[in-house]
Amino acid sequence: MLYRSTRGSSPAVDSAGAVLSGIAPDGGLYLPEALPAFDWRACLQKDTISMAASLLAALLPGIPDMNTLTRRAYLGKFQSDDLTPTVAVGDFTVLELFRGPTSAFKDVALCMLPQLLTASKAVKGIREDILILTATSGDTGKAALEGFRDVPGVKICVFYPDGGVSQVQRAQMVTQEGSNVTVCAVRGNFDDAQTGVKNIFAACQGKALPYRLSSANSINIGRLAPQLTYYFAAYRDLVARGQIQVGERVNFSVPTGNFGDILAGYLAKQLGLPVGTLICASNANNVLTDFIHTGIYDRRRPLLKTQSPSMDILVSSNLERLLALLSGDTELVSGLMAKLNTEGFYQVPGELLEKIQASFFAGCSDDCRGQEVIGRVWREQGYLLDPHTAAGWACAEDYRAKTGDTAPMVVLSTASPYKFPAAVLTAIGQSLSGSEFDQMRQLEDVTGVPIPGNLATLAGKPQRHTAVVEKSEMLPFVLGL
Ligand SMILES: *Cc1c(COP(=O)(O)O)cnc(C)c1O
């Protein structure tokens, strides 16, 4: 099985090649040329880590020994080796994706990616070290640092906007331990940091460097593939609880930003898992909601700052993969992406829109609705949602109300409420005082929900990474590593 670019003008590569290069040379994203036959019923019999191994072996053939790689990636790193537990809450089932080492759902993928990268290096006989460069608006940076820390043959450097991440997120990054990690603040906003990283990649093209540059961004198939696992694990849990028989449909509501998480759900469906509707939940930045309703993708609007910052996004990169999967037309996809780039919008043909609407329902929930949902679910169910998960919950309610579809609903929970203590405290009717660390303790006192260990110990850890650079100093900083 080979991987091909969504834009059709790059040569096909094998799994290891796709993982190593991340993005295709023509700017497209890699997709398998055909999805493998997969025994999804047998997969449902397995424990979560073995599920991951069988899914990754099917999706990334040629990368050997997935059993060892998945165990190395996950054993002992999450609160339990079940990785992503499900909890029945009211009418829905919450899939807790935030029980990993940094309390972010990105841990599921970023614990696995280093194993896939180093195994791909071995497959290709590459000797030189890899330097992972990443710009972060908060969660990705910490999850990537933790995933890559002390992985032999790999170094990682994370840039974050100075003053542009929360106190907790900054503390998570600047206290990072590990012999191969660097963290640096950039004077500017997230776009400046991201543009700076892109410029470093461009400046280093074709240069003789002591390492190979790579990224931990969600366009890499090695980040997407590990995310199929928890759709299977959630389905298995519903069967075990007697809520469904194997074969019955389950709907999933997914708080969406870059469209990676929800696309993994669509791929799980393509592999046979009985997924009904995938609910694409946005916040007030509702580009995707409009797109799924009208077929017009239009990023020409201001980016709003919300209480669910990981969903504040105008261009959802992984949507390109869905367009390619559903149309099978690389010429169409590269035309649409070119138009998005030059004019800021595109419209898909009617038949493609119909295919999208057959699998996806779109909704959006602003901060006001999110606050209402967090407060109500806490009062009525005694369960604490974070603002991202609250958007998923709200859109799941909208879907039920609009369609009357009563199939079991799984709401993906993408962050611990302790990552956003101010928004959560306000929603449950508490007044705020002190630092974010004080607010974490206040939230624990009021609710009795324990602070995750990795966040509870943060305030007392030494700050190890205090460098701050101008945008123009990012390249020399990296060359000096
Ligand atoms: C990254 C992230 C999302 C969005 O996931 P995508 O795969 O980018 O759609 C949602 N919630 C949280 C908390 C995240 O960190």
Structure tokens at 364: 């959006």
Looking at 106, 142, 269, 419, which residue is catalytic? 106
Mutation probe of ligand 1 site: the residue of 113, 227, 278, 388 with most atoms within 8 A of C-beta: 388
Give me the half-sphere count of Cα atoms (radius 13 Å) on the Cβ side of residue 256: 35
Q: Is the Cβ atom of 390 under 6 angstroms away from ligand 1?
A: no
Q: Could you give the CA distance from residue 324 to residue 379 in angstroms, rounded to a whole number?
A: 44
Gap from CA of 479 to ligand 1 centroid (Å): 31
CB atoms within 10 A of CB 203: 13
Of all atoms in ligand 1, which is nearest to the CA of residue 258? Answer: 8
**Strand ranges across the sheet with 154-161:** 211-214, 129-135, 154-161, 181-186, 468-469
3-state SS assignment for residue 26:
coil
For every one of its 481 residues, what pLDDT tens digit does the chain have, with 9 covering 90 and above?
999 999 999 999 999 999 998 889 898 999 999 999 999 999 999 999 999 999 999 999 999 999 999 999 999 999 999 999 999 999 999 999 999 999 999 999 999 999 999 999 999 999 999 999 999 887 899 999 999 999 999 999 999 999 888 888 999 999 999 999 999 999 988 888 988 998 898 888 888 888 988 888 878 999 999 999 999 999 999 999 999 999 999 999 999 999 999 999 999 999 999 999 999 999 999 999 999 999 999 999 998 999 999 999 898 999 999 999 999 999 999 999 999 999 999 999 999 999 999 999 999 999 999 999 999 999 999 999 999 999 999 999 999 999 999 999 999 999 999 999 999 999 999 999 899 999 999 999 999 999 999 999 998 899 999 999 999 999 999 998 8
327 conformational bin, left if phi > 0, alpha if psi -120 to 50, beta if neither: alpha
Q: Which of 140, 256, 413 to mutate to test the pocket of ligand 1 (most atoms within 8 A of CB)?
A: 256
Query: Does the pTM exceed 0.75?
Result: yes
CATH 3.40.50.1370 fits 87-103+252-270+277-423, yes or no: no
User: Is position 471 annotated as part of the catalytic site?
Assistant: no
